[in-house]
Every structure is written in C-alpha cells, then in structure tokens.
Amino acid sequence: MPEDEKERVDRELIELLNELRVALPGIQVLFAFLLIVPFSNGFPKMTAVERDVYFVAFLCATLAALLLIAPSAHHRLRFRAKDKERLVLRANRLAIVGLGFLAAAMSAVVFVITDVIFEEPWAALVSALAAVSFAWVWYVVPLSRRLSGVD
C-alpha cells in the first residue's frame, strides 16, 4: 500500500534523524580532540601554519556540530507546529552543509597531524587527498547518480 503525504514526511524525518545519529558521534569525538589540543604539551611547539590550520579545523568542527545538531533542536522547538515538511527540507540543507564543514574539519586535522609527523609537502598532499575523497564520496557520487537519473 503506498504511503500518504503525512507518512512520507514522517518517514523522511525519521530517516534524516537516524542519519544524523551516525554523523554526530564523529563530530563530537573530533570536537573533543580539538578542545584538548591547545592544552597539550606539544601545542607550543606547533608552527604558525599548524596553528592556523588547527584553528580552521576547530572552527569547521564547531560549525559542523552547530549545523548537524540544529535539526534536532528545530524539531523540538517546532513540536506539533504542523510544518514537518518544511522542517525536513530545512534539516536536510543543514545536514548537507554540516557534513561539508565536517569534511573540512577532518581534512584540516589530517593536515596538522601529517605535518607534525612528516612535514609540510606531505601534509598538503595527504590533506588534499582527504578533502578530494570526502568531496567525491559524500557529494560527487550521489549527485552524479541523481543527475543521471539512476536511483
């Protein structure tokens, strides 16, 4: 039996919130790691570039957490407001942008860690590969399938 409009919107919201439950632990662990880095013994030894990229990672992780948690807050604050369709669309956009900031934060962390271990040419290469991999797997593959009509 086909689902009606209300059932579809309810299912889409449940699916979105379940997907966010996958991303949130990752951003929480990354954010916690980034919170303790400045208080570690090695932080004063970091180069200016490493600190700058660390700060970019910290800001991106902050924005990712903000955007990925927002759909749950919006859902709670708009409880029984009868605008679930709009909530799902807004939450979907927030999640897509939040995942982009998560990818940027993770790529920046890859740069900092690789730079500490191997120095800058390798750090730039490895972090660029990480960023391209995130972009490819998280965005290009699903969007290309969508644009080609394959689903």
Distance of CA 37 to the CA centre of its chain: 20
Q: Give pLDDT, residue 101.
A: 97
* 151 three-class SS: coil
Structure tokens at 50: 């490493």
| pTM across the whole model | 0.88
Q: Is the pLDDT of residue 76 over 90?
A: no
How large a percentage of the chain has pLDDT more than 70? 99
Q: Is the pLDDT of residue 111 over 80?
A: yes
Q: Is the pLDDT of residue 139 over 90?
A: yes
CA distance 18 to 14: 6
DSSP states of 77-142: HTTTSS-HHHHHHHHHHHHHHHHHHHHHHHHHHHHHHHHHHH-HHHHHHHHHHHHHHHHIIIIIHH
Task: Read off the pLDDT band of 106 (50, 70, 90).
Answer: very high
82 versus 106: the higher-pLDDT residue is 106
Structure tokens at 7: 């059932």
How large a percentage of the chain has pLDDT more than 90? 64
Q: Give pLDDT, residue 151.
A: 59
pLDDT tens digits along 21-75: 888 999 999 999 999 999 999 899 999 999 999 999 999 999 999 999 998 888 8
